[in-house]
Structure 1
């Protein structure tokens, strides 16, 4: 890797079904907790599945007390995660010393606000709020002094990784000194209708890579990473958490909803990341998988990883969606945060809900439910989006090795 363009992760922040903060997310993940449960925010009694990954009500109440009010939970989730990440990075949110840019990905965006506006007992939501995607970033720009580019992406469920890639490129090129980047989404009634129509919802639990998997389960939350040149963080006395070694994106354009059966898009992004980072297949210690628990995704993903990382050992693979649900625009960013923690803690989360591994996934080493304590120097975090979009982020331990 070209050290002149090195990009470091200096802070991370999260709002998730585990609650407020990265510690809550990591502890729940490595603790093997399954956090999906009954939906309480809106009525899903008419749907075959009534479960999701919902941010706890007490967490929402805490955000309401700490942040300016906004009709969209997305705006509040994102702001809270960004403030946590900046705090860890040692960057005062209102300081104007750095050129700071914002790069955020989402799927549903302001749609949940519209759901509430047009549903029974209309709440009088302003038309401008749900119609203008920039409103999602309004609260963040209130609590953080942003003097660089502000970009919102909507490329499907690879949104978080797309935003991380854009932020890393902006830092590496010198366009910004600091990048706030990540993904966010709010649980939506429309998601239930959409996935129900596709018969893609799990009736009880998401079981990634399991022979009996029956579907995914919606979730929500926000994950934010602060990216900057490592020497900037060190000058403030902050030791970076990890390095962004490479990023890559592709679109196989095979189907509106399904990845290409040969996994060509994912294989291309993995190969590109390894080439850009100057690494080989056996250098990757863990693949933080997209792993939605759907029959259409998991077999394709496992075979693609096995092919792309063919080496002396089987690639090590697990997904955390069985625990926190599929947070859509927030999924890849939350998974990238867990990847950073895995590098810090030398611990790989397990496939917590795995009962019987799918024989179609035999080419990879599926981490058992209890996880694995081992040396973790390099993590590949990958995400699929509808329409064939794939985005991969390669993260490395923060040292010269």
Structure 2
């Protein structure tokens, strides 16, 4: 089976508009939560989110190009451009028939959908929809636009598995390269869910924190006082290549991806299994795929959204896999970024890749009163980053519908 390596990273996030800035904010414990500026929240239960900061699409895209795309596609294009640049990629010197795109998004163009339908509902009944309405809204359009922009004619599609989406995309991309169906894959995910529909919908399901008086500490995974997650937006892009292809073009290899596991909770529409059954199976499947033991994992980036049942069920599953005597560092980077939904797995994969590259564990911030059942079982890397050798890092993602996807990254050694 072919080795698969990581050669390019790109990110646009609530705590940094590049992969480097994102990582620096992570290890410095910066929170991206603040009052929502995108719409009037006066009648909403939750009035804050993790928005992008100092973002203007025209700093990255031509005006005519930006008008054609929903924010989630804009974010995708921006992150991908950075990953291509960091990977020293010139597509004109490569076989574009063997380069593909598998891109994830849970909500696609929900902002476009809301805007167009609202305008119709408030009108006189005459359908004056934009000709760009459907292509801006459909969830698969970002992967199509990426391939069109760069003339990439390989495998191209979109994964949707709610908040497990971009890890699912990464696993699919890994496997197509392993199987010899592609030399290089652009993968990751993007999400633009900070609008009335998303915030209102998540409020209705009682999923969001309502700590409006102090939003910066609202995302507090594992804390007994947590009251829900914080919505985030942005994108993460990862370039995967076969080892042979990367070496041949003298690519800057930053890590190796060695495992991916998927499973299902088969339990509830929105809640995780109380004992973390799917999470347990997904982690085991990833370890088996990577052909390593539990003792070889040094760092685990937890899904840990800061919801009462979700955090506990994941820790139960982790304890079941790694045991009480584990030497594992765990952190919940959503405490800083918020929850990027379908893009969460992509930026958290980047956190894992940076961890194995630099031997630094990003912290879990905001969490003070840890669940008593687990506070002496795990090192949750509270408050401050830790330096330690990181040879293998695991990333968990779980989605509404019971979807589970776990990836494993390894320090690169030629």
Task: Tell me, yes or no, if structure 1 residue 44 matches structure 2 residue 50.
Answer: no
Question: Counterpart of 2:113 in 1: which secondary structure?
Answer: helix
Q: CA deviation at 1:44?
A: 2.0
> Which range is displaced more, 340-349 or 36-45?
36-45
Q: CA deviation at 1:220?
A: 0.8
Per-residue CA deviation, residues 281-335 of structure 1 (Å, 9 max, x unaligned), is 1111010011100002101111111111127424321111111110111111000
Structure 2 residues without counterparts, runs of 5 or longer = none
Per-residue CA deviation, residues 338-385 of structure 1 (Å, 9 max, x unaligned), is 110111111001101111211133332211211111111100101000
Question: Counterpart of 2:55 in 1: which secondary structure?
Answer: helix
Task: Tell me, yes or no, if structure 1 residue 195 matches structure 2 residue 202.
Answer: yes
Check conservation: 1:86, 1:93, Cα contact below 8 A.
no
Shift >4 Å, 4+ stretches:
93-96, 120-124
Question: Counterpart of 1:156 in 2: which secondary structure?
Answer: coil
Aligned-partner Cα distance in 1 for 2:92–2:230? 37
Find the partner of 2:223 among 202, 210, 226: 210
Check conservation: 1:96, 1:147, Cα contact below 8 A.
no
Root-mean-square deviation (Å): 2.0
> Which range is displaced more, 368-377 or 114-123?
114-123
Aligned-partner Cα distance in 2 for 1:323–1:281? 27
Check conservation: 1:94, 1:143, Cα contact below 8 A.
no
Task: Tell me, yes or no, if structure 1 residue 252 matches structure 2 residue 265.
Answer: yes
Find the partner of 1:76 among 74, 78, 88: 74
Task: Indicate the residue corresponding to 1:136 in structure 2.
Answer: 142
Q: CA deviation at 1:134?
A: 3.4
Structure 1 residues without counterparts, runs of 5 or longer = none
Q: CA deviation at 1:279?
A: 1.4
Task: Tell me, yes or no, if structure 1 residue 337 matches structure 2 residue 353.
Answer: no
Task: Tell me, yes or no, if structure 1 residue 229 matches structure 2 residue 235.
Answer: no
Question: Counterpart of 1:103 in 2: which secondary structure?
Answer: strand
Q: CA deviation at 1:388?
A: 0.7
Aligned-partner Cα distance in 1 for 2:130–2:173? 32
Aligned-partner Cα distance in 1 for 2:219–2:379? 19
Alignment of 1:343-362 (within 5 A): 343-362=356-375
Question: Counterpart of 2:164 in 1: which secondary structure?
Answer: helix
TM-score, normalised to structure 2, is 0.91
Aligned-partner Cα distance in 2 for 1:102–1:186? 20
> Which range is displaced more, 361-370 or 30-39?
361-370
Aligned-partner Cα distance in 1 for 2:7–2:294? 26
Q: CA deviation at 1:157?
A: 0.4
Find the partner of 1:58 among 27, 50, 55: 55
Task: Indicate the residue corresponding to 1:279 in structure 2.
Answer: 292
Task: Indicate the residue corresponding to 1:108 in structure 2.
Answer: 107
Check conservation: 1:12, 1:224, Cα contact below 8 A.
yes
Task: Tell me, yes or no, if structure 1 residue 394 matches structure 2 residue 401.
Answer: no
> Which range is displaced more, 358-367 or 292-301?
358-367
Find the partner of 1:13 among 10, 27, 47: 10
Check conservation: 2:108, 2:138, Cα contact below 8 A.
no
Q: CA deviation at 1:143?
A: 2.4
Alignment of 1:122-201 (within 5 A): 125-126=130-131, 127-130=133-136, 132-187=138-193, 188-201=195-208
Alignment of 1:287-302 (within 5 A): 287-302=300-315
Count of residue pairs the alignment pairs up: 397
Query: CA 1:278–1:132 in structure 2 vs 1: closer, same or farther (change >3 Å)?
Result: closer
> Which range is displaced more, 329-338 or 180-189?
180-189
Question: Counterpart of 2:240 in 1: which secondary structure?
Answer: strand
TM-score, normalised to structure 1, is 0.94
Per-residue CA deviation, residues 201-226 of structure 1 (Å, 9 max, x unaligned), is 11231101111111101111111111
Question: Counterpart of 1:361 in 2: which secondary structure?
Answer: coil
Aligned-partner Cα distance in 1 for 2:223–2:324? 24
Task: Tell me, yes or no, if structure 1 residue 368 matches structure 2 residue 382.
Answer: yes
Task: Tell me, yes or no, if structure 1 residue 88 matches structure 2 residue 86.
Answer: yes
Query: CA 1:254–1:238 in structure 2 vs 1: closer, same or farther (change >3 Å)?
Result: same
Question: Counterpart of 1:119 in 2: which secondary structure?
Answer: helix
Aligned-partner Cα distance in 1 for 2:91–2:118? 37
Task: Indicate the residue corresponding to 1:32 in structure 2.
Answer: 29
